[in-house]
Structure 1
Amino acid sequence: MKRRNFLSLGSALAGSALYAGAMPGAAAAGRDRLRIGMIGTGMRGQVLLRELVRRDDVEVAALCDIEPIMLGRAVQMVTAAGKPAPATFGENGDGYAYRRMLDSGKLDGVIIATPWEWHAQMAIDAMQAKVPVGCEVVAGVSLQDHWNVLDAQLKTGTPYMLLENVCYRRDVLAVLRMVRSGLFGELVHLQGGYQHDLRAVKFNSGDPTKPYGGGVEFGAKGWSEARWRTEHSVRRNGELYPSHGIGPCAMYTNINRGNRFTRINAFASKAAGLHDYVVRNGGEDHPNARTRFQLGDIVTTTLACDNGETIILQHDTSLPRPYSLGFRVQGTRGLWMDLNRSVHVEGISKPHEWDDARVWFEKYDHPLWRKYGEQAAGAGHGGMDFFVIHAFIEALKENAPMPIDIYDAITWSAITPLSEQSIALGFHTLDFPDFTGGKWRTRKPIFAFDDRY
């Protein structure tokens, strides 16, 4: 797809399905109620579980976790909602107990919400067992992980969705409508990232009742994410969490659907923030004060697109800062920046002045939010978790393609190992693999203007 065709394609999408490729007659062949399993019932898993148990079209049939405390809490969530107690797996500490759950033949889908290093193998095992996958973000750790997951999906045909909730953020979807309406003209440059102070997530006291902060332990002595996530900051240096930022930017630029990433490079600052946090909160004599963290405090990744756009991602999780994903969408006629919550449209906004974005968002509010906003109230991450679970379940019920599919998942997530490689090579620019094998030229854009899911 040439850049000059972008606006006409966006206009043609009005009234089409939220994602492309819905199968004719799928709804008639669909199911009204699904049996869903979950692998990983920690803090993140429980947030997603809360969305599952409040749905009448879902039975939480099975739960798997090797941490008895978290598994017990998850079971209580299900029964407290008035639902039957699910079958449980993993209480004995068997890291592969999930395979028995998958092989039971009684699941219509599975949610994977485990530590990152397990995502690829668990997804592959599920797809080989013909159990559709809804995987938390980060499809794999190594680049080979990503190729393996893609290969398994293509060979088995089992549905796979990356559960990237920021794609459903209310302002993100409103901006998508603005982009598809041509409000910003031809897109030129975009920015996003993961700018979130995670020091109290990466360290705690190890107390199961206090998962965030309160100490400087990690690894075996830590609890929850501090038990596994911090180790990635110890031994890796790259854009470790790209999908929150790149997901919306990829939607706006139709990546894998008429456009693709062609080149990538990454730069990393020095690593000072986590060491400083440990020393100030645990003292210079604490054993963790001797840990050498490899992850640069600020990692900046640049992507080039076939249609000529550039995209910048920034990973910033080790320093004090308020939360922001740093979105910027800029074209020949205007731009949106989320940090100052502002929009400027040439010929409509006052010259050289910002408009309050809320005015524009009310006008371009996405039909999904208009239809389901009340149901999403109280859901995790400002309602976004309702939408991502809703999309997965509804696509399964209709036997329809996943709105964030295997090609999206692999392309977005592979930014991590590619950025690591770029940094390790002295900030070299690398070719970006075409995971679609050329299919990006003919695949249709996702997320149009209607309210299906």
Structure 2
Amino acid sequence: MIKTAFIGVGYRGMQLLQLLRCISGFRVVAVADPALTDIGMPDVCCYNSGEDDYLNMLDEQHPDLVFVASPWQCHVQHALHCVEHGADVALEIKGGLYLDEYRPLIECARRAGRKVYPLENTLFIRENLSVYTLVRAGLLGEIVYMRGGYRHDLRRLLLDDDGTLGNRDKTESVWRSRFYQEENGDLYPTHGLAPLCLIAGIGRTDRFKSLTSFASKPAGLLQRIRDLGGPSDQKITMGDVVVTQLQTEKGILVTLTHDTTLPRPRSLDFEIQGTKGIWQGDRRQIYIEGYSPNETWESDESYISRYEHRYWQQWGQEALRVDTHHQGMDYVMLKALQEDLNGGETYPADITDLALWTSVTPWSKLSIAERRTIYLNDNN
């Protein structure tokens, strides 16, 4: 049994905790959260006596694994203390708020021989893993262009019903909205970028060499504030749409979009294009030269099934039954984590990958502020 604890059991932490209790092999012994009143689980110890009570949890419970699902700005500190107490860490997305933020954690984990698993659930979407397998089989040829993003209308989360920013009770609005008032960049690149890096081997066999970001005006939140009768003097710095262009050493072009304050259906905006074909995730369509009808899209379902990743072959049915909120991806992610911890197949990403994905946030802010391309390997 994997003796497990949690730091942070808000909306996301509680989702993961509930799922984990459906997987045999994990034993959740404790949770720590200063806002916690009653978790409703008599067999789980609660540590809620202030922001540092999680240290008492680590001292007293000695967990093998700790899930860190606290606010972004706390991630590295909490993970560091877990590693120093001899625990592996399952780290919720996303931190990486400034350059080299993860470096102390990477070095500490390496010295201590502990693992830090980034909980980026889009890596485990069935279609993304199938396309990863399909690309490795050469069906799309050499990858030339990729696109992804975080395109999710968050206005209702960020604003309360009276149009006040950062005031929606019992949500991450309280801390997340601050970024929209103080920063301008791709705040949440990992959902779109992580699967693209996995598919193309970026961070393993290729690396980014340049980044250029652009931001639109911040009209969406201001319009919603006016519509709700909120404060007329509210300051918003985050552009409604932030577009980042990255290029790799091998010449792959990657487009990322952060789009969270305009009305739209939710989208991860995936597209993978190579010398033999193209896949579009939102449309669930594919075109492969020599196989598809000439210049005609076809449904990707037969390809997704034919190239289905082992994770989904093994755990897919149970994942869809248990994890209805995220269409199975969280469940598959937790099973992959468990398999790694038990000495099986290696989890598909590590803390160095997370550091790469999240570095887009500070680099994009710098690119927008200084209106220039950032040459990443020159560090200037």
User: What TM-score range do you get, normalising by the shorter chain?
Assistant: over 0.9
Q: Which residue of 1 aligns with 2:121?
A: 165
Identify the structure with the greater strand proportion. Answer: 2
Q: Is it true that 1:304 corresponds to 2:247 in the alignment?
A: yes
State, as a whole percentage, how many aligned pairs show the same letter: 33
Please point out which of 16, 22, 25 is paired with 1:54: 22
Q: Secondary structure of 1:326's partner?
A: coil
Q: Is the 8 A contact 1:139 1:162 kept in 2?
A: no
CA distance in 1, matches of 2:221, 2:198: 33
Unpaired runs of at least 5, structure 2: none
Larger RCO, structures 1/2 (Cα 8 Å, 6+ apart): 1
1:220 Cα shift? 5.5
**Corresponding residue of 2:32:** 64
SS in 2 for 1:343: strand
Aligned partners of 2:99 and 2:362 also within 8 Å: yes
The yes-or-no answer on 1:38 pairing with 2:11 is: no
1:431 and 2:370 are equivalent in the alignment: no
1:104 to 45, 55, 60: 60
Partner AA of 1:154 in structure 2 = R
Q: Deviations over 1:344-385 (max 9, x none)?
A: 000111111101112221222222212211210231311111
Query: Does the aligned pair in 1 maintain the 2:244–2:364 contact within 8 Å?
Result: yes
Aligned residue in 2 for 1:201 = 157
Residue correspondence of structure 1 range 21-420 to structure 2 within 5 A:
33-69=1-37, 72=38, 75-76=39-40, 79=41, 85-90=43-48, 92=49, 94-104=50-60, 106-204=62-160, 214-219=161-166, 222-281=169-228, 283=229, 286-287=230-231, 289-377=232-320, 378-379=322-323, 380-398=325-343, 401-420=346-365
Whether contact under 8 Å (2:184, 2:239) holds in the other structure is yes
User: What amino acid maps onto 2:194 in structure 1?
Assistant: G
1:364-419 Cα offsets, whole Å, 9 max, x none, are 22222122112102313111110111222221222875431111111111111111
Cα shift readout 1:399-453 (whole Å, capped 9, x = no counterpart): 8754311111111111111111111111x11122599xxxxxxxxxxxxxxxxxx
State the AA in 1 paired with 2:297.
W
Amino acid at match of 2:370: L
Between the two proteins, the alignment pairs up a number of residues equal to 377
CA distance in 1, matches of 2:19, 2:234: 38
Of stretches 391-400 and 170-179 in structure 1, the one that deviates more from structure 2 is: 391-400
**Equivalent pair of 2:5/2:63 in contact (CA under 8 Å):** yes
Q: What letter is aligned with 2:14?
A: Q
Q: Distance in 2 between matches of 1:375 and 1:194?
A: 27
Preserved CA contact (<8 Å) 1:218 1:228: no
Rounded to whole Å, the distance in 1 between the matches of 2:257 and 2:132 is 21
Which amino acid in the other structure matches residue 354 of structure 2? Answer: A
Q: Aligned partners of 2:378 and 2:70: how far apart in 1?
A: 28
